[in-house]
Copies of this chain bind each other. A is one copy, B any other.
Amino acid sequence: MPRFFVTQDTLSGKFAHLTGEAASHIRVLRLEKGDRVTLCTGDGLEHEGVISDLQQGAVSVVLHASGESQSEPKLKCSVYMALAKADKFEHVVQKATELGAAEIIAFPSARCVSRPDERALAKKLERWQKIAVSAAEQSGRGLIPKVLTVSSFEDAVRRACEAELPIVCYENEAHHSLRAAVTGAQVSTCALMTGPEGGFTEEEMTFAQSAGMQVCTLGPRILRCETAPLCALTAVLFSAGEYD
Q: Is there contact, CB below 8 Å, between B180 and A221?
A: no
User: How many interface residues does A have (CB within 8 Å)?
Assistant: 33
The chain B residue sitting closest to A178, CB to CB, is: B243
Q: A220-B140, A222-B138 are in contact. Are A244 and B99 (CB under 8 A)?
A: no
A219 to B239, CA, bound (A): 13
In contact, B238 and A243 (Cβ under 8 angstroms): no
Partner of A220, one of B71, B95, B222, B239: B71
A37 CB–B CB distance under 8 Å: no
Is A70 part of the contact surface with B, judged by Cβ < 8 Å? yes
Q: A140-B222, A220-B70 are in contact. Are A99 and B227 (CB under 8 A)?
A: yes
A242 within 8 A of B: yes
Quick one: closest B residue to A234, CB to CB? B234
Closest to A242 in B: B219
Taking A99-B227, A178-B244, A179-B243 as given, write out 16 further A-B residue pairs in contact, using a Cβ cutoff of 8 Å, ordered by the A residue number: A98-B222, A98-B224, A99-B223, A138-B224, A139-B221, A177-B244, A178-B238, A179-B241, A180-B244, A219-B244, A231-B234, A234-B234, A234-B235, A234-B238, A235-B243, A238-B238
